[in-house]
Structure 1
Amino acid sequence: MDQSFLLMLSNLLHLHNHLDPTASLLSTTPSSTSTSPSSPSSLLSSSAAPLLFFTIATVLSYITTTAAATSSSTTSSTSSPSTTTTTPISVSAFRALSTDHIWSIEPHLRDSQWRSSYGLSYPVFTTVVDKLKPYISQSNLSLPSDYAVAMVLSRLCHGYSAKTTAKRYSLEPYLVSKITNMVTRLLATKLYPEFIKIPVSRRRLYETTQAFEELTKLPNMCGAIDGNAIRVNKLSGDVQNPSAYRSRYGYDSVLLQVVADHKKIFWDVCVKAAGGTDDATHLRDSLLYNRLISGDVVWDKVMNVKGHHVRPYIVGDWCYPMLSFLLTPFTWNGTGSPAQNTFDAALMKGRMVAVEAIGLLKARWRILQDLNVGLNHAPQTVVACCVLHNLCQIAREPEPELWKEPEEMGHSPRVPESEKSYYYFGETTRQALADDLHQRLQSR
């Protein structure tokens, strides 16, 4: 029991017994011999007055203390959760988190905290800041570089709108949008060449093809291609052809095309088409297609399979065109020969690398689940997230649960006259690989 309440009760008992020694405060029967002062003035002049004043003061003190404690407890219990979620993340508060003492925290606790807030561990975060800082400094931004990067990563990681981010960081929404556009543009341009590269070096190409062969039993595979519709929150009123952005799944979007290696690292990214565009058309409009068709990309690794020269190739589903450097399944429903069906199963196993890489991308950077930036800035935001994804994969950041996409639907594209020679070369390569795989599996 509270000590002040015990004191108050003791004083009341003492006072009552002093004024009427024949009665007990705890008695339920009124005393017939009770005597009391005839007036308040006589009571005040009696010897009990100091004790009465002390008792009144004790009662008032107890009431005040109890009310204050109750009020404080209520305020704390009701406002504590909202304080944690709505307290603005000021520069000073962020600086307190990111000063040198953070290295004294247990690494797994420190990095878990930063992944929860910014989508990546503290060392990877500092890498991003160090690489962007020279460019951000040139912009005369009034905010520290690490604070600006943290704000943008928080938005990309959690999918916050500019308005929500502005509340959290005590900034104006227009300034949040401006900083987001600046940081994502820098990621998509300055860091892209460093972290998204075609595997042309002999060492990396050998490592990639060997890993894919272990996975699929198909030689010289160097990547998997896939497309994905990135939902756009809303289209602006000045879009000339809104229906072009309507994806096959029924929502407005822009189209992402990626090529991934065995580590689910993207080595090519393209966001050039509206969501209603088919995968084959998007590929043909990409820089990668033009570089491969023109022979600008040289893969110095040729294998002989069943008398055919097989150069490194990527694999995709039936929505992509068959080309000398891009192999697709024979059928989409398993109606081919045993050798063809075996090849299709192996190819689709390799293609799943790209599917899972996109699932990781959208799980890590949730803004891509419902893109809430202007359409003009959508492509650079998507590419920026791809750069960050590669940083996470290279640093071996923990992989979250994959974001699940609807099952791919589509049909085989037509073969234009300009692609017929590439198609025939790809077709003979595919058949040679299928026959070789089937023979090797049969002989075991």
Structure 2
Amino acid sequence: MEWQQISAVLLLCFLWHMWQTNIIQQWAQRERQRTTENIILYTRLVRRLRMTRRRRASRDACDVIALMSILRRARSMWAQPRQSTWWELANTSWEEKDWQKNFRMTRTSFLRLCDILRPQLTRRRARHRRPVPVDMRVAICLWRLATNLEYSCISQLFGVGISTACSVTQQVVLAINRAMKTLYIKTPSEAELMVIVQGFRDRWRLPQVAGAIDGTHIGIIAPAEDPTDYYNRKKFHSVILQGVVDHRMKFWDINVGWPGKVHAARVLVNSSLYSRSESGTLFPRWTERLSDADVPLHLLGDAAYPLLPWLLKPFPEGGGLTRAQVHFNHQLSQARMTVGRAFGRLKGRWRCLLHRCDAHISFVSHIIAACCVLHNYCETANEEWEDEEAGDEVEDFADPEIGHQANRGRKIRDAIDKMASSDFSATFKVCHKVSPDLP
């Protein structure tokens, strides 16, 4: 009985085990099938996402290409079309007097100026527009310098944009300074100095004069930094142009940019002209024996400058001057008027210096230097210009003397005064014989 029970129990356990094994296998098979289905679904999903991204990227690329083509079609017009009829008419039909009146030089000088600046101003042709021709660039700049006209008016005259007129003016100004400044503003050679000295001697009977020096104010907009330094005694903001001219009113040395409040003597002492003169490298060591002094080459200045061996100024005004000293002061003043007339002619030609210069303070010096170069260019070409303006002298009060140099300067001035007084006495005697009524 016991054995039968045991057999029945074992049979039941075997049957239970077989049943459990079959269930597990079926479950495992179902799980494997489900996993395979999931993998297939995931793979299909990934492929579908990739295809969607590719289609979207392709569609975006097409949109970008279409947008670029639209922008390219809209960008085909780089500048607003303007009429340049005025410039074309002026360039083809103006006579010489019209060119000289408006551009401050004859057509021949204008074309030669264009040839000089052509390497600096030639621009490549852009894809969608032509560059502004060189002759128009030079004309725009000269018109701005000569009239101080606003860029909005210049753009209408020449048929260019306002920003183009402004940038062209700046480019031409820089080109003038780069290509022409060292050619037209330079220390005279020995041969040129001989002509200058002889010119002052023949016209004003003053020996050993190599030039006249003075300064003038150029009005500017009050700068953002230190505006009070530029506010001069004439109640406007300015920078100082110090210039040295020969007997033909041509500049051979300039110093530009000092604030209008600075004294003329300080501008001189801080210039390269002063350092070269003090070191003896400015002029050749030519001297002329007058009375008991060897007179070197020197400049003529007004009372604002110090008395130096190479820089003479008038005797101090007062009641103690002799007739010969008064005559000497008159002769020196007449000779020194050369630099005043040069400033007047400079501002008369280039009226951007006569009125307030609206350029930025960092660019004002470039404009002034370019105007001085063009002034010499016109004077060299014998361009006539009669519309001279009165120059604003920097200072008119006397500057204290500079040590022992003043003593030597006085000796040289006294020697020249004795020579001038002898000439004056001879002239006075002749005049007295002709006109006995003279005092």
What TM-score do you get using the length of structure 1 for normalisation? 0.72
2:212 to 224, 238, 242: 224
> How far off its partner does 1:280 sit?
0.8
Partner of 2:412: 429
Matches within 5 A, 1:412-427: 412-415=398-401, 419-427=402-410
Secondary structure of 1:431's match? Answer: helix
Structure 1 portions without partners, runs of 5+: 1-87, 103-108
When the two chains are superposed, the root-mean-square deviation of aligned CA atoms in Å is 2.3
Q: Aligned runs of 1:236-255 on 2, under 5 Å?
A: 236=223, 239-255=224-240
Three-state SS of the structure 1 residue aligned to 2:214 is strand
Residue 137 of structure 1: aligned partner: 122
- Of 180, 185, 202 in structure 2, the residue corresponding to residue 191 of structure 1 is 180
Deviation string, structure 1 residues 112-158 (Cα, Å, up to 9, x no partner) = 11123312111111121111110112688921111101100011111
The CA distance in 1 between the partners of 2:319 and 2:173, in whole Å, is 43
The reply on whether 1:178 has 2:167 as its aligned counterpart is: yes
How big is the shift at 1:336?
1.9
Distance 1:213 1:110, change over 3 A: same
Q: 5+ unaligned residues in a row in structure 2: which ranges?
A: 1-81, 428-439
Residues 256 and 394 of structure 1: CA distance in aligned 2, closer, same or farther (over 3 Å): same
1:374 aligns with 2:355: no
Whether the 8 Å CA contact 2:347–2:353 is kept in 1: the answer is yes
Secondary structure, aligned partner of 2:309:
coil
Secondary structure of the residue aligned to 1:368 is coil
Are residues 296 and 409 of structure 1, via their aligned partners in 2, closer, same or farther at CA, if it must alter by over 3 Å? closer
Q: 1:171 Cα deviation (Å)?
A: 2.7
Q: Is the 8 A contact 1:318 1:328 kept in 2?
A: yes
Question: Paired residue for 2:136?
Answer: 147
What is the percent sequence identity of the aligned residues? 27
How many angstroms does 1:298 deviate by?
3.0
Letter in 2 for 1:395: A
TM-score (norm 2): 0.73
CA deviation string 1:155-208 (max 9, x = no partner): 11111122332232233333222221221122223211111122232x221211
3-state DSSP of counterpart to 1:366: coil
State the AA in 1 paired with 2:243.
Answer: V
What's the secondary structure of 1:349's corresponding residue? helix
CA distance in 2, matches of 1:163, 1:221: 47
Query: 1:280 is matched with which residue?
Result: 265
Instruction: Report SS of the residue matched to 1:387.
Output: helix
Aligned in 2, Cα 1:139/1:294: closer, same or farther, shift over 3 Å?
farther
Structure 1 residues 140 and 152: alpha-carbon distance in aligned structure 2, compared to 1, 3 A threshold: farther
Length, aligned pairs only: 342
Give CA-to-partner distance per residue, 1:302-326, whole Å, 9 cap, x none. Answer: 2111131111111011011111111
Deviations 1:250-285 (A, max 9, x none): 111111111111111111111030111111111112
Q: 1:386 aligns with which of 335, 353, 372?
A: 372
Which residue is equivalent to 2:148? Answer: 159
Q: Which residue of 2 aligns with 1:395?
A: 381
Query: Do the aligned partners of residues 174 and 285 (structure 1) sit closer, same or farther apart at CA in structure 2, a change above 3 Å counting?
Result: farther
* Structure 2 residue matching 1:314: 3-state secondary structure: strand
The question of whether the paired residues in 1 share the 8 Å contact of 2:343 and 2:390 is answered with no
Of 324, 334, 340, the residue aligned with 1:339 is 324
Residue 218 of structure 1, CA deviation: 1.1
SS at match of 1:324: coil
SS across alignment from 1:346 = helix
Q: Distance in 2 between matches of 1:350 and 1:297?
A: 21
Question: For the Cα contact (< 8 Å) 2:324–2:420, is it kept in 1?
Answer: yes
**Which amino acid in structure 2 is aligned with residue 224 of structure 1?**
A
The answer (yes or no) to whether the contact 1:226–1:259 under 8 Å persists in 2 is yes
Does the Cα contact within 8 Å between 2:307 and 2:406 map onto a contact in 1?
yes
Q: Higher mean Cα deviation, 263-272 or 289-298?
A: 289-298
SS in 1 for 2:244: strand
Matched, 1:235 2:222: yes
